[in-house]
Structure 1
């Protein structure tokens, strides 16, 4: 009823203007019932009208926002402290938090994205960009994702993780954003799932077969770190937990810092289960030929795991961190 009354008043008085060019607008409903404004006369304005797909994406964001207890409003106008005008496709507010989600259906340069993001930041708003274009810049300061899909099949979001893309349906992604599960890097306290790999090797000194831990695979959201024992000196808790979940029939030697004459240094290493001799990093790779996952456990990200990522040269970017159900 309010929309109909507004349409009648605008038809009578012509009091509404397009924010892109200040031209006269008219009020319409799409085939799906979406209410939107269009130019009365197209003229020379370069602002493209919204497609049905664009409007559907915004509608999903609004619905998910409201379902998660946020105040969700479309096409919100505002001014930065510097007096620059902005218009958010969807503005979500809860307590002191404000998030503007921009559904960018037409191409936009990285410089323009950075400019608009800075304007939101100056206004105390966190901007999130949903691009249809293939190439765009994403960083800690400019969270951005790619979207694909159709009205018939629905829409999926592709989150750039630093090493690839994490794919989620649109609605669960928006819900993750609003529940602080869309995070950058390896957040402290984020759930982590760890798989323990073991292999068998002949000890070069005593000749006996000995099991060794060939590595740990650490999954944090969409990010994966794989490390061998010599790389895990910053993660003593991970090693202790790995030993706890080992099957009873597998008894590896002691893991400790030992001196290697070949490397002329001390480093964390496997030892022979029989004579305790250091199993050097070179020999660990030989055991990878017949390795298998023998145990799994769950933990959370701590500073040790963060240090490990740096040591491995990994730089995880954005990702959705959901509860762990399985590894």
Structure 2
């Protein structure tokens, strides 16, 4: 099964023909059709799925002309993608062979060019590890080709990529899931940008709706630049404080105290805010404490936050102090009395700081950092689905 053949010494492709023109081409008795792979006589066929293709009139003597064991669904998807790319004005080749600038060979399911742009779309119908996908992606990158992957999904309830390694979508490896229900004869292939396993493991609500497109619409939006990557984590945060004037437990004089540290950044380019209460300020990293002290301490007249020993706790932690007597304004004191001063909160201005090196996770009211930020992780989304 092939999508190209030689007609009267000129190469043609089956996906460029409408159904009407394909039927007319089948009835053309004056032209010669020969397989591009071996030069033997070719005939024009249409599969049960609607794939228009060329086949050997007689069984080839060698296996050099085989389709490599591809399933009819795999071949049909390649046909539909190629046809849509052609309709979008791209020059298309199927099973295109090439060599990267590092000498590594590649064979693209679908290869297309338009102007200076070079793309490949791989339809992965069998299992392939994420490590192997990354390796092949790098080969395309070394060849100056952008590549997207369509990975078979197992069921309508499980739209994940076919192995768990793909649960994190990345900018460097654009991966999408493709599925078609077999219960409806007229159903179409659907492409998804989600991974169910990843969503279930998220401890925050995901602010993005899943992208679900028919295959042809997906291809059109992909090459039109309407499917873009949105990083999950922003590289910077907006940092501000809540300051409250409290009476020192020791000297009884009023002193300004940091009651809350606020961070505002984005999650998939959507505004997202979280905060630490004063009794939890020690979970802020060293750089954040330095930003607080250098940018707010003098302006808002409070002592720099620093590590203090607490007899009550029996250990040291980052804490407030009294500006007059330097007494520790400890966790227990602030937790007991801070709520009575909510009407006296002063919100500071915001400053831009590098984002914390780890991701804040939450279980109920308990907050903690559990993993390093990976700025390559995110989501490929249809841009008009993003709410601002």
TM range (shorter): 0.5 to 0.7
- Structure 1 residues 282 and 127, CA gap change in structure 2 (3 angstroms): farther
Task: Specify the structure having the higher radius of gyration (Cα).
Answer: 2
Give the stretch that moved more between structures: 133-142 or 196-205: 196-205
Q: How does 1:233-252 map to 2 (within 5 A)?
A: 233-235=286-288
Q: 1:254 to 1:9 in 2, by over 3 A?
A: farther
Q: Aligned-pair RMSD on alpha carbons? A: 6.2
**TM-score relative to the length of structure 1:** 0.56
Structure 1 residues 112 and 313, CA, compared in 2 at 3 Å: closer, same or farther?
A: closer
SS in 1 for 2:144: coil
- Please name the residue that 1:320 is paired with: 379
Counterpart position of 2:71: 48
Q: Give me the whole-angstrom Cα distance separating, in 2, the residues matched to 1:275 and 1:234.
A: 27
Question: Hey, what's the Cα distance between the residues in 1 that align with 2:73 and 2:302?
Answer: 64
Aligned residues: 299
| CA distance in 2: counterparts of 1:287 and 1:56, whole angstroms | 69
Q: Distance in 2 between matches of 1:149 and 1:288?
A: 57
1:213 Cα shift? 1.3
Q: Which runs of no fewer than 5 residues in structure 1 stay unpaired?
A: 244-251
Q: Which residue of 1 aligns with 2:212?
A: 169
Query: Any stretches of 5+ residues in structure 2 without a counterpart?
Result: 1-13, 60-65, 154-161, 182-186, 361-368
Structure 1 318/100 Cα, relative in aligned 2: closer, same or farther at 3 Å? farther
Q: Which has the higher contact order (CA 8 A, sep 6+)?
A: 1
Q: Secondary structure at the match of 1:158?
A: coil
Residue in 2 that maps onto 1:146: 177
Given that 2:176 and 2:191 are in contact with CA atoms closer than 8 Å, whether structure 1 keeps it comes out as: no
SS at match of 2:71: coil
TM-score (norm 2): 0.50
CA 121–325 in structure 1, closer or farther in 2 if over 3 Å, else same: closer
Q: 3-state DSSP class of the match of 2:163?
A: coil
Query: Shift of residue 221 of structure 1?
Result: 0.9
Q: 1:306 to 1:148 in 2, by over 3 A?
A: farther
